[in-house]
Amino acid sequence: MAHHFKIKKNKKGEYVAYFMYNSETMFWTEGYSSKASARNAIESIKKNGPGADTVDES
């Protein structure tokens, strides 16, 4: 299971979706008040992420 999403509660009690690769956090979402909202964020990333442009501001 190299790539996966994980939902955890933060210190504020909010649900946060993490994208993991080999047990390392690659990125995470903002905190959500409900687990359903965190799941919706994951589905949005899955749907919209593959077609997203890369912006290089270097």
pLDDT of the residue at 25: 96
pLDDT of the residue at 2: 86
Residue type, position 3, single letter: H
5 forms beta bridges with: 19
Residue type, position 10, single letter: N
- pLDDT digits 0-9 by tens, 3-54: 999 999 999 999 999 999 998 999 999 999 999 999 999 999 999 988 899 9
Please tell me the pTM assigned to this model.
0.84
List the domains of the chain with CATH numbers.
Answer: 3-47 (3.30.160.160)
pLDDT class of 58 with cuts at 50, 70, 90: very high
Exposure string over 21-44, b if 16+ CB within 10 A, otherwise e? eeeeeeebbebbeeeeebeebbee
pLDDT of the residue at 10: 97
